[in-house]
Structure 1
Amino acid sequence: TVGYQGMWLAVRANVRVAEAARQGSAVNAVQIAFRTGGVVGMLTVGLGLFGASLVVVLYQADAPSVLEGFGFGAAMLAMFMRVGGGIFTKAADVGADLVGKVEKNIPEDDPRNAATIADNVGDNVGDCAGMAADLFESYAVTLVAALILGKAGFGDMGLVYPLIVPAIGILTAILGIFLTRLRSSDKSAMSAINRSFYLSAIISAALVGLATYTYLPSTFAALSGLDATFQSEVSINPRTFAFGAVVIGIVLAAAIQMLTGFFTEVGKRPVNDVAASSQTGAATVILAGVSVGFESAVYSALLIAAGVFGAYLLGGGVIVLSLFAVALAGCGLLTTVGVIVAMDTFGPISDNAQGIAEMSGDVKGEGAKILTSLDAVGNTTKAITKGIAIATAVLAATALFGAFTDAIKSAVKEAVGSATELASQYSGVLDVADPRNLVGLIIGASVVFLFSGLAVNAVSRAAGAVVMEVRNQFKIHPGIMKGTEKPDYARVVDICTRDSLRELATPGLLAVFAPIAVGFGLGVGALGAYLAGSIGTGTLMAVFLANSGGAWDNAKKMVEDGNYGGKGSDAHAATVIGDTVGDPFKDTAGPAINPLIKVMNLVGLLITPAIVAFALEGNERTSQIIAAVATAVIIAALVRSRRSSTLIG
């Protein structure tokens, strides 16, 4: 629903943005694009909060276990939309750029290019539907983790407080969206967007503080539904604890926005350096972009790690509370989701508006400059929202990791009647000195690389088919270049649709069956290490892919604005190649890692009771059979993926 509504709104707004730019009104163009995104943002947070609240109301004490399924469904769909939408949009984009800009030297979105329509359709599929589904899933999974751990840490109030925080975020996001207005003193639309984001974040923090100190008691003894011994041992103030955790999440969102903006925004040094490297060819452009991605990944990962550790310290050594604090930090970060989705949807709307203007030929002069500026800002906002989505993935996965260890204890207790009898056997189950756990860690890290490779390769193959199709149309119908014949746009759309749907199976099977193979084959400790490995590697890989791609894209925009030779120059051709390399990085593989991490964590959470039960019953043969079947499914999917190469020519 969220994805469909996002596309439905975007395709109606982009024409209005193009018309506003044609009339020379940058203020109206920004307002239309951002407020349309705001509607998508409200749908995202509204449906996410409604779904989680409905489960809590209907199932009450049993809500945490039901929410695992709720989160898993959202995560699976988000991953499919990210992978499928990313393959569709980037196959068309890469194909259109390589043939149109590099070979035929015609502008972007020129109606003579057969891939133009597929490219514009893909912007909506990948960025509107994909990001809306991704953030809806982040919203759902973070709430799942917060409610599971909230019940353990705060008792009955722990099932309500995590819903209050994002509810406040909805109100402040509405305010932030309506206050977004371009001023004459603003250098670009980015200034107005940043202003609304920071304003809504500050107001969110203030209102959450008010709600926290009104709703929660000042001592753990006053919380209902908790073990009396636990209450007597904890001396932390619940109000200070909860408010501090939420504020960490809000501050983390603002910090990631600034950091990502620095590495991907036009006018900042990293993008300027990538653009300058175009004077010496495509190879140096790619090297410069890769270095930007690597460097930004380190800083982003350290920032996220600091946020996780800061939240962890609030627990005062009580593991359940420390993990609940991490989940609440995720809830705090998600108070800004309404504005974040608006920022992301702003990107494809402004991109499509520029495409419509180019195809119509009616928007020139000042109007064309407005749309070019909005498109460059849209690239930055998309990179920022990807960075924040990655942070939500890490916070949710870390909290789910805590729920995973809790699930081990619960499974042991259920199997033997008392957790104490076999507690010693499972207390060191995540010991890194155990070779099985080290193997699990390595496999978890490698799955992220395999998944990314599959996604990029899928785009490469589909883009190859698009390139050949567009070339053939130019060759067979020479009148296309003269404007006397019309390209077959539908043919390229069909190629992108077919290939994106066909490539969905392998990444999906890998995400679901890899944890099953590791868990049943190597044990619950190795599964925990597997999840830890995927979280660590996934964080670095996702940021690297998103920021390097964003830097390449905006470096191309800089050259197209007239720098280093402008359009049609050798420098322009070099940056176009850099951009086409970055397209599957930032819009296919990178964004899909977020739901991948959460899908694997939720699968681990769901299968843990069965793994522990089989181990305690001595039913190793069944476990090995399940592991063998899961491994066979993954191998079969990989073999099929390699054999089903796209027919080119």
Structure 2
Amino acid sequence: MTAHLLGQISGAGVAPVPGIVHLDGLNLVLVIVVALIALAALGLGAMFRQEVLSAAEGTENMRTIAQAVQEGANAYLNRQFRTLGIFAGVAFLLLLALPADDWGVRIFRSIFFLVGAGFSAAVGYLGMSLAVRANLRVAAAAEAEGREPAMRIGFRTGATVGMLTVGLGLLGASIVVLAFGDEAPDVLEGFGFGAALLAMFMRVGGGIFTKAADVGADLVGKVEQNIPEDDPRNAATIADNVGDNVGDCAGMAADLFESYAVTLVAALILGSQAFGEKGLVFPLLIPAIGALTAVLGVYLCRPRTGENGLVTINRAFYISAAVSAVACVVLSFVFLPFSFDDLDVRATVLDQITEGSIGGNPAIIAASAVVIGIVMAAAILALTGYYTGTDYRPVKDVGRTSLTGAATVILSGLSVGFESAVYTTLVIGAAVFGAFLLGGASLTVSLFAVALAGTGLLTTVGVIVAMDTFGPVSDNAQGIAEMSGDVQEEGAQILTELDAVGNTTKAITKGIAIATAVLAATALFGSYATSVFDKLQEIGRDVTDPGQAQDLTGTLLEFFVFNPATLVGVLLGAAVVFLFSGLAINAVARAAGAVVYEVRRQFREIPGIMEGTGRPEYGRVVDIVTRDSLRELITPGVLAVLAPIAVGFGLGVAALAGFLAGAIGTGTLMAVFLANSGGAWDNAKKVVEDGHHGGKGSSAHEATIIGDTVGDPFKDTAGPAINPLIKVMNLVSLLIASAVVSLSVGNDSNDAVRILIAVVAVVIIAVVVYLSKRGEVAIDDAEPAPVK
């Protein structure tokens, strides 16, 4: 932490203070307790998993279909991890090359990069491996036992992943704090970067896989051949169900884990500066409370007779969130003092040159910030549920526009996405600004308050992950039921309802993940600025020297938006979000084109498919989307890592600050827009399929299918991938900040090396984007096979 903890203001000036945070006594005991709570969460996850696996597996047909989905999902993730292992190895070596206070920190930062990446991969893989076993059990329960048992199995599956996310996140952070003490935040930068990088790759790759298969299956099966969704005659159905698991289970679980890890990293970095030793412990205690209240939320999720499943899940969320808020407030007043005089606090250089003073009540600041985060999560849940739920006007209006064709469905869905993005952003902005104001004149305390709002949101993550995984499990259950033909009308209706609920819960979790990304990115942005000025101080610009203090103040002024370099950085940050989204959506279009080509070919060339006497070649479609998704994830990944390097080394630290601001602002709006417009289109289709506006097979149904097809890559590929994108770019910027300053200022400055690094990064980005754009959309020109 010596790179982050500088000087104390005194009459003699500002003197460096090497390592001021050392755990002992009660604080040491509390961190050990957090580690034990993390282990208990993992134990509860194992218990929930056993509950799911003990349920009945259904008929032989169900088991056969589920086995095919399991094999496809395992094969894809195994190939994906082999590919990502190369990226992880390269990133490990690059981290070793980046400067740190000493070689010990540098080595362990790189090691915990691999730990974070491994935990992220483990959450995704283990979540997916249970989901592909739970889907047929949900289908069997809906047929044999009814709605409540089916819903319980689906939610227990999600609870397993939720406990795994909470447990591994807390365990990793607490072990680092116990092992490294005052150096923990530096080491945790690697842990968070590993989690975020792997999650981004899994989110992009899984998103391309699932939506390429889904779009291809819908376009040929439902539109051209007029057969039901998940009809076994469609060669893309197995790939579609596999995609639900590798994208919505593995990808999203990894995404939520990295949100958990990165938010903790940001809070611990700033906490040790703002609150001293207690600031290194308090951010761990808040999500530990969340781990306990998540268990309460899981057991409260019991549907009442005739109650909509979404109401049941929301009630469990709100009660557990309320209990978390009360417990966190009590903890704040018990653990933290009422005056900063009782904390071992050191003002950072950034506080000093902005003449910030530390004051106020630490307990009230912390309690208020945490409650802001919890309230924000509840507000986003309600807001997203309104814009994407089947019971509310926005989705009903989108469904109603299907009477006038696909164009109006798309226009109305875009309108919902744009409008919802504004209100969601206002909620997030109010939370960030409200938390920031709590710090008063101290910039460091203000940024820590923002990070604490993020940890408050983390108290809901256990239930949020359960809500998210519930979506693809219920979707797969409906698919297995339809493909097997072994579920009667009553059971099928139960699964249809649960699928619609799952669509909304998935949209809600995307909204929560976006909010987490903004809070974590804002806190990391503050850490980046602190790191820049710490490095300037380190190379000899003493703020007590009038001339050098002026240099520092001048550097601060460069961060203002009226500086052309900063403004250009803002534009570039916004542009990267647009380019990233475009690449992800185009990747889905290309891969889906190949699926359309293959499914059409099979309808033409394999005798008896439509009569049910010929068996489609499901494996060929799985192979196509596996190959294409792994190929396409390289370009977005390279863009996320190298764009901040190009801007930072090429244009300087002020431009990089603007770049991060532009990415955070644009990414927030874009992610919400994509997620909610896609969710509205999906559930509008469900409204029509429930019998409104002509029902299944009508022209209105065809219009909503087209809208849903457009929305698939919006909500399940590009939108969710923006969350880890923002955090990866912030973490890369934080990691390179010292190197950028060193090559720009002082005795170690070397413009030639700095520009060379930037040029190499730009060339690599240009090459991979060019190669990606050369790919063709492989859609067959032949006429589609006639409906039989």
TM-score range, shorter chain: over 0.9
Partners of 2:357 and 2:220 in 1: how far apart?
68
With a CA cutoff of 8 Å and minimum separation of 6, indicate the structure with the bigger relative contact order.
Answer: 1
Bigger helix share: 1
Aligned position for 1:621? 752
Give me the whole-angstrom Cα distance separating, in 2, the residues matched to 1:642 and 1:516.
23
**Which of residues 621, 626, 629 in structure 2 aligns to 1:497?**
626
Q: How far off its partner does 1:325 sit? A: 0.4
**Structure 1 Cα separation of the partners of residues 441 and 503 of structure 2:** 42
Task: Count residues with an aligned counterpart.
Answer: 648
Shift of 1:425: 2.9
Q: Give the gaps of 5 or more residues in structure 1.
A: none
Q: Distance in 2 between matches of 1:314 and 1:333?
A: 17
Q: C-alpha displacement at 1:417, in angstroms? A: 5.8
SS of residue in 2 equivalent to 1:339 = helix
How far the C-alpha of 1:283 sits from its partner, in A, is: 0.4
Q: How many Å apart are 1:647 and its aligned residue?
A: 4.2
Paired letter, 1:459 = V
- Provide, for residues 449-470 of structure 1, a one-character-per-residue CA deviation record: whole Å limited to 9, x for no partner: 0000000000000000000100
Tell me: CA distance 1:635–1:456, structure 2 relative to 1, closer, same or farther (3 Å).
same
- The answer on whether the counterparts of 1:510 and 1:634 sit within 8 Å (CA) in structure 2 is yes
The aligned counterpart of 2:762 is 631
| 1:371 positional shift | 0.4
1:251 maps to 375
1:36 CA displacement = 1.1
Partner of 2:180: 59
Cα distance in structure 1, aligned partners of 2:391 and 2:554:
57
Q: Secondary structure at the match of 2:227?
A: coil
Output the CA distance in 1 between the equivalents of 2:148 and 2:687.
22
Give the one of 604, 621, 640 matched to 2:771: 640
Residue aligned with 1:487, SS: coil
5 Å-filtered alignment, 1:198-213, equals 198-213=318-333
SS in structure 1 of the partner of residue 697 of structure 2: coil
Contact 2:369 2:452 in 1 (8 A): yes
- SS across alignment from 1:416: coil
Report the counterpart of residue 90 of structure 1 in structure 2.
211
* Counterpart residue type for residue 249 of structure 2: C
Deviations 1:613-638 (A, max 9, x none): 11113421211111111100100011
Please say if residues 559 and 566 of structure 1, whose CA atoms lie closer than 8 Å, have aligned partners that are also in contact. yes
For 1:521, the equivalent position in structure 2 comes to 650
1:171-203 Cα distance to aligned partner (Å, 9 max, x none): 0000111110000152x1001100000000000
- Which of 448, 469, 473 aligns to 2:598? It is 469
| Alignment match of 2:435 (pick from 287, 311, 327) | 311
Aligned-pair distance for 1:538? 0.2
Deviations 1:153-185 (A, max 9, x none): 000111100000000000000011111000015
1:50 to 171, 176, 187: 171
Structure 1 residue corresponding to 2:474, chosen from 339, 350, 354: 350
Whichever residue aligns with residue 178 of structure 1, its letter is: Y
| Contact in 1 for aligned 2:241/2:479 (Cα 8 Å) | yes
In the other structure, the counterpart of 2:453 is 329
The match for 2:577 is: 448
Structure 2 gap ranges (5+)? 1-121, 781-788
Instruction: Decide whether the 8 Å contact of 1:151 with 1:157 is kept in 2.
Output: yes
Pick which of 529-538 and 217-226 moved more: 217-226
Of 240, 249, 256, 1:135 maps to 256
Match of 1:294 in 2: 418
How far, CA to CA, are the matches of 1:418 and 1:598 in structure 2? 32
CA distance in 2, matches of 1:216, 1:27: 43
Matched AA of 1:384: I
1:238 maps to which residue? 362
**Counterpart of 1:217 in 2: which secondary structure?**
coil
**Deviation larger for 215-224 or 436-445:** 215-224
Partner of 1:25: 146
Q: Report the alpha carbon displacement of residue 233 of structure 1 after superposing the two structures with TM.
A: 4.9
Partner of 2:395: 271
2:705 aligned with 1:584: no
Any residues of structure 2 matched to 1:219-234 within 5 Å, and which?
A: 219-224=339-344, 226=346, 233-234=357-358
Question: Structure 1 residue 367: deviation in Å?
Answer: 0.7
Which residue identity is paired with 2:672?
A: V
Q: Does the 8 Å contact 1:409/1:419 carry over to 2?
A: no
Match of 2:292 in 1: 171
Which residue of 425, 435, 439 maps to 2:564? 435
5 Å-filtered alignment, 1:397-412, equals: 397-412=521-536
Counterpart of 2:335 in structure 1 is: 215
Distance in 1 (alpha carbons) for counterparts of 2:607 and 2:538: 73
1:16 aligns with 2:137: yes
Partner-residue secondary structure (3-state), 1:87? helix
Residue 225 of structure 1 deviates from its aligned partner by 5.3
One-letter code aligned to 2:600? R
Structure 2 partner of 1:281: 405
Contact 1:24 1:366 in 2 (8 A): no
Match of 2:61 in 1: none
State which of 534, 538, 541 in structure 1 corresponds to 2:670.
541
Could you tell me which of 692, 710, 716 is aligned with 1:563? Answer: 692
Letter in 1 for 2:160: V
Instruction: Report the TM-score, using the length of structure 2 for normalisation.
Output: 0.81
Q: Deviations over 1:360-404 (max 9, x none)?
A: 111122111100000000000000000000000000000001001
In 1, the alpha carbon distance for the partners of 2:701 and 2:687 equals 9
Q: Is the 8 A contact 1:166 1:331 kept in 2?
A: yes
Percent of residue pairs identical: 67
In the superposition, relative to structure 1, how do residues 24 and 571 fare at CA in structure 2: closer, same or farther (>3 Å)?
farther
Structure 1 residue 418, shift from structure 2 partner = 2.5
Cα distance in 2, alignment partners of residues 435 and 227 from structure 1: 30
Coordinate RMSD, CA, aligned: 1.5
Q: CA deviation at 1:223?
A: 1.3
Residue 582 (structure 1) shift: 0.1
- Secondary structure at 2:167 match in 1: helix
In the aligned structure 2, how far is the partner of 1:361 from the partner of 1:203?
A: 44
How far the C-alpha of 1:415 sits from its partner, in A, is 1.2
Given that 2:395 and 2:684 are in contact with CA atoms closer than 8 Å, whether structure 1 keeps it comes out as yes
SS of residue paired to 1:402: helix
What's the TM-score once normalised by structure 1's chain length? 0.98
- C-alpha separation between the residues in 2 aligned to 1:250 and 1:233? 28
Tell me the equivalent position of 2:493.
369
Q: Does the Cα contact within 8 Å between 1:35 and 1:178 map onto a contact in 2?
A: no
1:384 aligns with 2:515: no
- The one-letter code sitting in structure 2 at the alignment partner of 1:237 is N
Quick check: 1:192 aligned with 2:312? yes
Deviations 1:30-80 (A, max 9, x none): 111011100100000110111111111111111111111111111100100
Residue 609 of structure 1 and its aligned partner are, at CA, apart by 0.6
Aligned equivalents of 2:774, 2:137: Cα separation in 1: 45
In 2, the alpha carbon distance for the partners of 1:403 and 1:645 equals: 42
SS at match of 1:362: coil
Asked if the contact 1:212–1:239 (Cα under 8 Å) also holds between the matched residues in 2, the reply is yes
Matched to 2:528, the amino acid is F
Question: Which residue is equivalent to 1:416?
Answer: 540
Alignment of 1:573 with 2:706, yes or no, is no
Q: Distance in 1 between matches of 2:395 and 2:609?
A: 35
State which of 200, 206, 228 in structure 2 corresponds to 1:107: 228
- Matches of 1:615 and 1:348, distance apart in 2: 49
Match of 1:119 among 234, 237, 240: 240
Is this contact kept in 1: 2:213–2:240, CA < 8 A?
yes
Q: Do the aligned residues in 2 keep the contact of 1:412 with 1:419 (CA within 8 Å)?
A: no
